[in-house]
Chains A and B, each alone.
Chain A
Amino acid sequence: AQKVTQAQTEISVVEKEDVTLDCVYETRDTTYYLFWYKQPPSGELVFLIRRNSFDEQNEISGRYSWNFQKSTSSFNFTITASQVVDSAVYFCALSLRSGEKLTFGTGTRLTIIP
């Protein structure tokens, strides 16, 4: 069975600070996919990134960056120069095949203080 752990339940930072959201996963499969989603107060899930288990390259997209380390089974998400609009709940998730059912972490509620 798969498991995703997001140890940080809530984080608050002042605007313009950098913040890292942690994600640790467990699976016995060698092929898997990792995801991050943003859930604003309206409830919809906003897709941020998908990474397969064979691609350990870090990725940067604007103010967002992701650090995937198989050695520690972690897939951490960093927001640089945070903005109030980044306030949301962020979920890390895992699936064994892309597009299929997801195992979600418990989420991290991020609050950016203006």
Chain B
Amino acid sequence: GAVVSQHPSWVICKSGTSVKIECRSLDFQATTMFWYRQFPKQSLMLMATSNEGSKATYEQGVEKDKFLINHASLTLSTLTVTSAHPEDSSFYICSAQKSGTANTEAFFGQGTRLTVV
């Protein structure tokens, strides 16, 4: 099966600092990756669609200058939370779509739990 690895699994950072989360497809190429956010005891909400070699597409209400997404290769997308604040504390999870295939499910990483203190 296809494996998506997220790093780190959890991170604690101080308010005002930036945090980078990596989403890597280990055994397949992913032209498109998706970033979701899940607040405690809530559902997963799509934040943005990450496209290799082009700008990410952000969902309404998501600040693109705060959540920087870079998809520089076919196997890696990064999400950087800039100037993090306690309200950014959440569970961030990515999924990757296999390039050149249709009719497959999205493959999810294991998620990153961010705590901003």
B: number of interface residues (CB 8 Å):
26
Residues of A within 8 A of B109 (CB): 44
- Which of B34, B93, B98, B105 meets A101, CB within 8 Å? B34
- Which of A42, A47, A99 meets B102, CB within 8 Å? A99
Q: Which of A95, A99, A106 has the most CB of B within 10 A?
A: A99
Number of A-B contacts (CB under 8 A): 61
- Which of B49, B105, B108 meets A44, CB within 8 Å? B108
Residues of B within 8 A of A101 (CB): 34, 46, 49, 106
> Which residues of B come within 8 Å of A, CB atoms?
32, 34, 36, 41-46, 49, 91, 93, 95, 97-98, 101-106, 108-111, 113
Q: Which 6 interchain pairs have the tightest Cβ spacing?
A: A99-B97, A44-B110, A45-B108, A43-B111, A106-B43, A104-B44
